[in-house]
């Protein structure tokens, strides 16, 4: 079994993601970390964290890749993210909405194994502005 290293950068990146209510892009993470590590290191750590089942990718409606914490069901073998991602058109935040699962009806012969829903609109924070 391969030993999983726990570096300072990995710990800090995971802390940033775990303490965020929204999914974060690499530039968002880098801004929060300051000079701790460079862009390449952040991308490498994000890839490791995703492979370890600790975070997942969310692509917003603009094509920007964001990263969010995984629920307790994810593992190194499989991610379970069959939930809605809400993309705010005003502040561009991406929020995982865990307790909303759309009902999917596929034609005969199609079997859904996973899906990714992005709903766009205005988030509660921007609705109050």
CA-based angle 103:59:86, to the nearest 5? Answer: 50
Q: Is 109 left (phi over 0), alpha (psi -120 to 50) or beta?
A: left
Helices (H) and strands (E) in the chain, counts: 4, 6
- 52 a known binding residue? no
- 98 a known binding residue? yes
- For helices 26-33 and 8-18, the axis angle rounded to 10 degrees is 110
- 74 a known binding residue? no
Which residues carry a binding-site annotation?
Answer: 88, 91, 98, 123, 126
Q: Give binding residues for Fe cation as ranges.
A: 98
* Residue ranges of the binding site for Zn(2+): 88, 91, 123, 126
């Amino acid at each position: 079994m391969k030993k999983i290293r726990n570096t300072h950068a990995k710990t800090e990146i995971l802390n940033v993601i775990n303490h965020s209510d929204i999914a974060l892009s690499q530039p968002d993470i880098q801004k929060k970390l300051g000079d701790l590590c460079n862009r390449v290191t952040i991308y490498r750590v994000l890839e490791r964290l995703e492979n370890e089942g600790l975070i997942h990718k969310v692509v917003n409606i603009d094509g920007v890749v964001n990263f969010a914490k995984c629920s307790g069901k994810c593992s190194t073998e499989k991610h379970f993210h069959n939930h809605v991602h809400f993309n705010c058109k005003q502040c561009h935040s991406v929020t995982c909405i865990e307790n909303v699962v759309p009902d999917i009806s596929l034609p005969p012969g199609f079997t859904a194994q996973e899906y990714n829903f992005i709903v766009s609109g205005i988030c509660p924070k921007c609705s109050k502005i």
